[in-house]
Amino acid sequence: MSKRLEGKRVVVTQASTFMGPAITEVFAEEGAVLVADDRDLTQRDAAQNLIDEAGHVDVLIANLAAVPPWNSVAPHNVQVNAVAQSLVENPSYFTPEYIETPEFKERLKSVPAGRLATAREDALFVLFLAGDESDFFVGQIFPFAGGWAT
């Protein structure tokens, strides 16, 4: 990897669940200084409190956040975008047992890509959004769904 996050302080919320493990792995490979956090960011002042406690933050990855008051972090020069993960390999989303069911296999037929994304693919997209190459993307919600959501 390119080490494009060398020295950047990155806070990953819910780092031990959902997409957190894949995100922290990819970001560590890219040289980020990781701060793992598992708090719920849906409360009114949670995002602001997290930033205040973490100190200088270059990138905030709010893993599985539900409509927090993101405008509260704008004064900290934090760029905010969202990835709407719909169809990603992750036992938190799709258990191995469910993936084997006829119901799931039928559901997958409606996905143009014809498969689930890997957790690493998802983490690499998050890496792109966290990098300097995506500074023009602000306030966007990106469906990560293999063409299912258009």
Handedness of CA 18, 19, 23, 25 (dihedral sign): positive
- 91 residue type, one letter: P
The answer, yes or no, to whether residue 98 has pLDDT greater than 50, is yes
Question: What pLDDT sits at residue 67?
Answer: 46
CB 123 within 8 A of CB 21: no
Which residues face 36 on adjacent strands?
12
The answer, yes or no, to whether residue 140 has pLDDT greater than 90, is no
CA nearest to 78, candidates 48, 37, 41: 48
Considering the entire predicted model, what is its pTM? Answer: 0.80
The answer, yes or no, to whether residue 106 has pLDDT greater than 70, is yes
Residue written as token pair 């006829």: 102
CA nearest to 70, candidates 86, 46, 34: 46
Question: What pLDDT sits at residue 27?
Answer: 93
Among 12-21, 36-45, 62-71, 75-84, top mean pLDDT goes to 12-21
Longest CA pairwise span in the chain (Å): 49
Question: What pLDDT sits at residue 12?
Answer: 87
Over residues 135-149, mean pLDDT: 80
Which of the two residues, 72 and 136, has the higher pLDDT score?
136
Over residues 29-54, mean pLDDT: 84
CB 38 within 8 A of CB 15: yes
Question: Using DSSP, how many helices (H) and how many strands (E) does the chain show?
Answer: 5, 5
Q: Which helix (H) or strand (E) holds 126?
A: helix 119-130
Going from the C-alpha of 101 to that of each of 96, 136, 146, the distances in angstroms are: 9, 41, 20
CA–CA separation, 91 vs 73, rounded Å?
Answer: 31
**What are 109-130's pLDDT values in tens digits?**
989 999 999 999 999 999 998 8
**What are 57-71's pLDDT values in tens digits?**
888 887 765 545 556
Domain ranges of the chain: 9-144
CATH fold for domain 9-144: Rossmann fold (3.40.50)
**What are 7-23's pLDDT values in tens digits?**
889 888 888 888 889 99
CA–CA separation, 14 vs 19, rounded Å?
Answer: 8
